[in-house]
Amino acid sequence: MLYQPHPSNWPVFPPRERIANMLETYAMTQELIVWTNSSPTGRPVYDREKQRWTITIDRDGTELELHPAHIILATGTLGAPRMPEIPHHDQFSGTVIHATQFDKPYPFVGQDVVVVGAGNTSADICQDLAEGGAK
């Protein structure tokens, strides 16, 4: 992060609580404006001539129209879990969980396991499962 690099005494993959605390501290020390209970409504529109976006935000029940130069979509472990619709899911007799529900590999020892995902979380879960005895 600009102005506050990753602490040298931290692990490469710190726990999410530590990351959350670091983000809160960063926002405070850099005097960033953070809006919670906010989400975009509708679809942003880009004006090429003005090089600005028009986006409407629902901020805790109040709609605000903003015109930023950039929009950054940053989703990840701190977002709400989303379980995709999988056809014939009801016919599967095995365990189906979201990454947020994964705690330890022990319930899966000796079992064939499929992890769907391509991010850091799925890679971490795959490693835990492989080292913990899942197939």
For residue range 81-129, what is the model confidence (pLDDT) as tens digits?
A: 778 888 888 898 889 999 888 989 999 999 999 998 877 888 889 999 9
Report the chain's mean pLDDT, rounded to a whole number. Answer: 88
Please tell me the distance from the alpha carbon of residue 117 to that of residue 94, in angstroms, as a whole number: 18
CA atoms within 13 A on the CB side of 49: 0
pLDDT band at 78 (very low <50, low <70, confident <90, very high): low
Please tell me the distance from the alpha carbon of residue 23 to that of residue 97, in angstroms, as a whole number: 28
Tell which residue, 53, 72, 73, 55, has the closest CA to residue 63: 55
Q: For residue 47, count CB atoms less than 10 angstroms from its CB and return exposed for 0-12, middle for 13-18, buried for 19 or more.
A: exposed
